[in-house]
Structure 1
Amino acid sequence: MTTQPQLPRAVAPREMAPQLQRAGMLDRVEERLRRLLNDEHRRWRTSDTRGAGLVESLAELVAVGVDRVRPVILLSGYLAAGGDPEAPEPVDAAAALELLDTCTLIRGDVRDNAALRRGIPTLHVSRAAEHERNGWAGEARRFGESTATLAGDLALSLADRLASRLPATAWQLWDELRVERAVGTYAHEAMAAEYLDDPWPGQCISGCDRGCTAGWYALRHPMRLGAALAERPDLDAAYDSYARSLHAAWRLRGFLDGGPEYDWDAELLREILLEREERGIAERLIRDLVDRASTTAAASPLATGWCEELESFAVRMASEKR
């Protein structure tokens, strides 16, 4: 009897690594932002050249935002929940988050009278300088600040345009994010004005306050939004726990290393409180918080490779800056 030759068994293609999945989606986010702003610039260039100038200023600031922290977190939450990497909705949501972040940065720069943002002059400073060079009527400072405020309004309008296409559950989270972020920002500014703003992130460690601009907006909301887009409401509690622990570690690291949100009063407090022994205690607390976040990720029903990636992400977020 003749034996039929055995055909080689088909080998299933290896699943793409989490980092490569996310990188591919981030490329699409970049393209989405570029196309949106180019289309808006083209629209106004033919009807109102001054309006086109406002779009151009916003596009320049968006283009130099290389970190894309919020999109990275949202897409991590989405892909870890088993979301389809080819779906358009998470790309729109990530682009909307970046525009919302840009709006907040512009307005924060006006409040703080900051000179630079992402290595270029802040929008209110550059537009005030333009006013002075051209000898226009009115006060240059007020022109710069009003122009920057309008650019923030434009960024917010474009973000809402993208978010309006999201499924109902995701849009509700987007709406919640926007409102809580505005209220949280006001609360932070009011506490600073009343000399009640404590640079030590004690409340972050003991548990985020509702509306906390640093934790709820930066980590918790984007991750939950990613889960909603992947239709995984079962991950809501796990993502909430992961984000709270990681947020506390991240804020504590910012205090120890002197991040941009921690000015001279935080530096003074570090000098008074953090001798070698106290700093060692704080470092151990960071490690405990990262371990807590990693344990949550490891115990969650996530897509292949994403438990490990979220554990690594927690370590990177809270690592000491060199």
Structure 2
Amino acid sequence: MTTEVTSATASGHGPAASVRRITDDLLQRVEDTLRSLLDAERDRYAQMDERALAAVDALADLVTSGGKRVRPTFCITGYLAAGGKADDPGIVAAAAGMEMLHVSALIHDDILDDSAQRRGQPTMHTAFADNHHNSGWRGESRRFGEGLAILVGNLALVYSQQLVSQAPPAVLTEWHRLCSEVNIGQFLDVWAAAEFSVDPALSRLIALIKSGRYTIHRPLVMGAHAAGRADLAAAYVAYGEAVGEAFQLRDDLLDAFGDSAETGKPTGLDFTQHKMTLLLGWAMQRDEHIRTLMTRPGHTPQEVRSRLEDTGVPADVEQHIADLVEQGCAALADAPLEAVWRQELAEMALRAAYRKN
């Protein structure tokens, strides 16, 4: 089966519907691959020691907790748009590996951010710490919880490498870049938060390599290479860099002004952790008192939100997001893609930047 979808189907549905069906089928196979791997690992460790099951079960709970599968979707779309065959198990393995890497990053990110909630549930390190405390075990509950969560995050990283090893070899260079960048991006994020100095250029770099490239740019390019279409890489990079930055800027706005009931995690973490996002960097350039406010003991997120709104920067960030989406879609205008895939990528850009379903 190929991805030739330029004519309407016999049932009366158009090319866009065919695109979605092909993509959804591959995404379902990604889900099946993730579940199959975790089920097999559970069976294996059940024969060793039942306590080991807590690691696999905690990971499985997070994998199946309702993630949007953004990275696998971009990887698969990049592959199909490049003419990849929908019956190739290699692209499924690559996309599944990408999601497992993302889960690893989430677990570690929650520890670094001291976040208590993820997808509406206690974060993994919090749940382990609570279990330690409630059981009356020896040692410090916080250290126990964070230690076990780090190990489960590492386990997810091992599984991600195991899955991607089944992908076409052409994706591996991009995969290795993706893995190193997300770690370096996280490293710089923690470092910049400690320095807490206004440096919009560094904030933008962190946003790109910690989130934007690993979410959109590199998954798309991996898809192109898996399909044997390295000629599409330049267009995918230009689109992915722009839309990836828009994606991260939306995250920054949601952290500052979002509703935790909708986002599934606490808001205002960037404030409490002193994360030097582009939003905060721009705002501090206009109002030096924001820095003083954020470092003052006892300040509230609402005080910071109010001050941010007074600078006008949130509206500027919204405009920048819109410009980035337009820029990203324009990068595909002359790319050798079927019109239906160009349209699909344009719609995906909007969903990434505005979190539309």
What is aligned with 2:213?
216
TM-score (norm 2): 0.78
1:279 deviates by: 5.5
Aligned CA distance change for structure 1 residues 197 and 86 (closer, same or farther; 3 Å): farther
Per the TM alignment, residue 20 of structure 1 is displaced from its structure 2 partner at its CA by: 1.8
Question: Which secondary structure does the structure 1 equivalent of 2:331 belong to?
Answer: helix
1:240 aligns with 2:248: no
CA shift digits 1:185-217 (9 cap, x unpaired): 10111111111366x68864xxx5797212121
Distance 1:245 1:269, change over 3 A: farther
Q: Structure 1, residues 74-120: CA drift from partner, whole Å, max 9, x if none?
A: 11211111111111111111111111111111111112221111121
Q: Distance in 1 between matches of 2:202 and 2:250?
A: 12
Let me know the Cα RMSD of the aligned residues: 2.8
Residues 103, 153 of structure 2: 8 Å contact kept:
yes
Structure 1 stretch displaced more, 119-128 or 273-282 = 273-282
SS, match of residue 237 in structure 2: helix
Counterpart in the other structure of 2:330? 295
Distance (Å, rounded) in 2 between the aligned partners of 1:57 and 1:222: 26
Take 1:84 and 1:123, find their aligned partners in 2: how far apart are those partners? 37
Does structure 1 retain, via aligned residues, the 8 Å contact 2:208–2:241? no
Looking at structure 2, the residues matched to 284 and 201 of structure 1 have their Cα atoms a distance apart, in angstroms, of 18
2:165 equivalent to 1:164: yes
Measured at CA, do residues 253 and 306 of structure 1 come closer, stay the same or move farther in structure 2, by a change above 3 Å?
same
Using the alignment, how far apart are the partners of 1:142 and 1:286 within structure 2?
39
Aligned to 1:4: none
Give the equivalent residue in structure 1 for 2:138. Answer: 137
Equivalents in 2 of 1:254, 1:149: separation in Å? 24
Secondary structure in 2 aligned to 1:145?
Answer: helix
Decide whether the 8 Å contact of 1:74 with 1:226 is kept in 2. yes
Name the structure 1 match of 2:119.
118
When residues 22 and 201 of structure 1 are mapped into structure 2, their CA distance, relative to the original with a 3 A threshold, is: farther
Of stretches 256-265 and 31-40 in structure 1, the one that deviates more from structure 2 is 256-265
Q: Secondary structure at the match of 2:84?
A: coil
Measure, in 2, the Cα distance between the counterparts of 1:312 and 1:65. Answer: 21
**How far off is 1:255 after superposition?**
4.0
Partners in 2 of 1:157 and 1:48 — Cα distance? 20
Q: Which one has the largest radius of gyration?
A: 1
Deviation at 1:219, TM superposition (A): 1.3
5+ unaligned residues in a row in structure 2: which ranges?
1-7, 259-266, 275-279, 281-300
Shift in Å, 1:166: 2.1
**Which whole-Å CA distance do the structure 2 matches of 1:137 and 1:203 have between them?**
41
Q: Does the CA contact (< 8 Å) of 1:215 and 1:244 recur in 2?
A: yes
Q: Distance in 2 between matches of 1:68 and 1:209?
A: 22
Going from structure 1 to structure 2, the CA distance change for 1:42 and 1:285 (only over 3 Å counts) comes to same
- In structure 2, the residue matched to 1:6 is none
The aligned amino acid for 1:237 is A
2:349 counterpart residue number: 314
Aligned sequence identity (%) = 36
1:305 counterpart residue number? 340
Question: 1:192 corresponds to which residue?
Answer: 193
> 1 CA distance for matches of 2:103 and 2:9?
42
How many residues are aligned here?
A: 308
Q: Deviations over 1:114-173 (max 9, x none)?
A: 111112111111111211222222222211111101101110111111111222220121
Deviates more, 1:261-270 or 1:289-298: 261-270
Aligned to 1:47: 48
In structure 1, the partner of 2:277 is none
Partner of 2:271: 263
Amino acid at match of 1:93: A
Mean CA deviation greater in 269-278 or 178-187: 269-278
- Separation in 1 of the partners of 2:356 and 2:226? 33
Query: Hey, what does 2:223 align to over in structure 1?
Result: 226
Determine if contact 1:68/1:98 at 8 Å carries over to the other structure. yes
Structure 1 length-normalised TM = 0.85
Q: CA deviation at 1:318?
A: 2.1
The answer to whether the 8 Å contact 2:185/2:206 transfers is no
Amino acid at match of 2:221: R
CA distance in 2, matches of 1:253, 1:240: 20
